[in-house]
């Protein structure tokens, strides 16, 4: 065979081999099917819409303990920070001056009673003598008037004795209410007066405890209009509490009342809630957040948040699988986040299959294979 023919054959053989390999690779390429996506079938349900509002804790009752008499404090009779009962002794003020005043009032009363007895006896004699005209009518009337004055002096002395006894009792300062007592501001040896402005200590009732919550008047008006129109239903007055560290308070409370006026500076209305506080976990002045049910939306649609996206204009969008297993993009209205879901007021309905997994793998009008995904209601 000539050399040129052999060279031509060698060039043809690799080309044929490449064509054969390409044909084999085309035969082995798998057919690409629809993309699998995870879907959740939406359902209508009654949804309670709650607002998270800022608030401050306030004691249900607070009393500043002040002395009602002046004197030197001799003893402190309570433990700071402890629970005290109404009427429990808290401070002992020096009694000596008030005991002496009581004794003086006792002596004055005894003297007045003796004088009144003598005047009464004399008046009785003058009445008898007056009947026989042994004494003048003027003298008789003067004696009777003196007896009445002596009796009035007895009443006055008795009232002074009562005042002295009350002041003596006031030297033992008692708790006006039951509750937790704070630190003392005056120590034994300090001089206190009945007219002083500084309290000796403070007692606060902490169980139950109030939480004052503020809500904008605009939100309150919108809620009332919605309730009046029948779009929403009244919710329960039971509310929950989130503490400063983000944890949930274990006990529920109730709304007591709403202030009848709007704060002109902030445009808010103050709501007062009452919470049980048996362990004293809540203290006055704490910042908390109240989760308050506002209304119930009947037949509402809740969509998982992972199934709702935002387009470049900020509009909420969702990908839905149609009956023909094609992807349809819809613009929706996400009114409010409730837990890990969006409350949808437009764009989705019960029975829609919302794509929640694989949204980044599909485009609108693409054919997909929907796979149900469990979703907590």
Q: The domain spanning residue 176 has which CATH number?
A: 2.40.50.100
Residues 74 and 194 in one domain: yes
- What confidence tier does 173 reach under pLDDT thresholds 50, 70, 90? very high
Give whichever of 78-92, 110-124, 246-260 has the largest mean pLDDT: 78-92
pLDDT, tens digit, for every residue of 125-160?
A: 766 665 555 566 666 667 778 878 888 888 888 898
Residues 218 and 312 in one domain: no
pLDDT, tens digit, for every residue of 330-368?
A: 888 887 777 788 888 888 888 888 888 888 888 888 888
- What confidence tier does 170 reach under pLDDT thresholds 50, 70, 90? very high
CATH number of the domain within which 43 lies: 2.40.420.20
CATH number of the domain within which 163 lies: 1.10.287.470
346-369 CB burial, b ≥16 within 10 A, e <16: ebbeeebbbbbbbbeebeeeeebe
Residues 217 and 127 in one domain: no
Residues 252 and 326 in one domain: no
Task: Select from 296, 316, 341 the last residue of a domain.
Answer: 296
The confidence score (pLDDT) of residue 350 equals: 86
Residues 323 and 358 in one domain: yes
Residues 260 and 323 in one domain: no
How many domains, the chain? 4
353 contacts 321 by C-beta, under 8 angstroms: yes
Least confident of 1-10, 68-77, 109-118, 245-254: 1-10
Residues 282 and 216 in one domain: yes
The secondary element (H helix, E strand) that includes residue 210 is strand 201-216
pLDDT, tens digit, for every residue of 184-193?
A: 999 999 999 9
Structural domain includes residue 16: no
Structural domain includes residue 138: yes
Structural domain includes residue 127: yes
pTM of the model as a whole: 0.60
Structural domain includes residue 252: yes
Q: Which of 40, 34, 37 is nearest to 352 (CA)?
A: 40
Give whichever of 144-153, 217-226, 241-250 has the largest mean pLDDT: 241-250
Contacts 24+ apart (CB under 8 A), 69-72: 69/93, 69/98, 69/167, 69/170, 69/171, 69/194, 70/191, 70/192, 70/193, 70/194, 71/97, 71/98, 71/171, 71/191, 71/192, 72/189, 72/190, 72/191, 72/192
Average pLDDT over residues 191-202: 91
Least confident of 101-115, 216-230, 243-257, 278-292: 216-230
Task: Select from 264, 281, 296 the last residue of a domain.
Answer: 296
- What confidence tier does 9 reach under pLDDT thresholds 50, 70, 90? very low
Residues 101 and 78 in one domain: no
Residues 307 and 359 in one domain: yes
Structural domain includes residue 309: yes
Residues 310 and 358 in one domain: yes
Structural domain includes residue 377: no
Residues 291 and 226 in one domain: yes
Task: Select from 245, 275, 296 the last residue of a domain.
Answer: 296
Structural domain includes residue 214: yes
Structural domain includes residue 2: no
CATH number of the domain within which 271 lies: 2.40.30.170
Residues 285 and 304 in one domain: no
Domain that includes residue 275, residue range:
50-59+205-296
CA separation for the pair 15, 64 (Å, rounded): 105
């Amino acid at each position: 065979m000539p050399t040129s023919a052999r060279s031509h054959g060698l060039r043809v053989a690799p080309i044929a081999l490449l064509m054969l390999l390409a044909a084999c690779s085309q035969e082995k390429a798998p057919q690409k099917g629809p993309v699998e996506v995870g879907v959740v079938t939406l359902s209508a349900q009654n949804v309670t819409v709650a607002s998270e509002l800022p608030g401050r804790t306030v004691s249900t009752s607070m009393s500043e303990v002040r002395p009602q008499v002046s004197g030197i404090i001799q003893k402190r009779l309570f433990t700071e920070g402890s629970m005290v009962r109404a009427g429990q002794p808290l401070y002992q003020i020096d009694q000596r001056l008030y005991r002496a005043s009581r004794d003086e009032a006792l002596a004055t009363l005894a003297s007045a009673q003796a004088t009144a007895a003598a005047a009464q006896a004399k008046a009785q004699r003058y009445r008898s003598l007056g009947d026989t005209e042994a004494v003048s009518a003027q003298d008789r009337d003067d004696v009777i008037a003196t007896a009445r004055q002596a009796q009035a002096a007895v009443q006055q002395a008795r009232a002074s004795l009562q005042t002295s006894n009350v002041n003596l009792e006031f030297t033992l300062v008692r708790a006006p209410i039951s509750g937790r007592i704070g630190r003392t501001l005056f120590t034994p040896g300090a001089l206190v007066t009945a007219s002083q402005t500084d309290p000796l200590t403070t007692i606060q009732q902490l169980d139950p405890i109030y939480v004052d919550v503020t809500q904008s008047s605009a939100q309150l008006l919108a809620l009332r209009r919605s309730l009046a129109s029948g779009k929403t239903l009244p919710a329960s007055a039971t509310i929950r509490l989130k503490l400063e560290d983000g944890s949930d308070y274990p006990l529920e409370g109730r709304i007591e009342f709403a202030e009848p006026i709007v704060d002109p500076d902030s445009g808010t209305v103050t709501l007062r809630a009452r919470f049980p506080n048996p362990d004293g976990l809540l203290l006055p002045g704490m910042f908390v957040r109240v989760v308050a049910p506002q209304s119930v939306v009947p037949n509402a649609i809740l969509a998982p948040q992972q199934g709702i996206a935002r387009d470049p204009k900020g509009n909420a969008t969702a990908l839905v699988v149609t009956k023909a297993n094609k992807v349809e993009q819809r613009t929706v209205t996400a009114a409010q986040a409730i837990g890990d879901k969006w409350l949808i007021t437009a764009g989705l309905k019960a029975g829609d299959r919302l794509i929640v997994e694989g949204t980044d793998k599909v485009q609108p009008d693409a054919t997909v294979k929907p796979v149900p995904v469990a979703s907590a209601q």
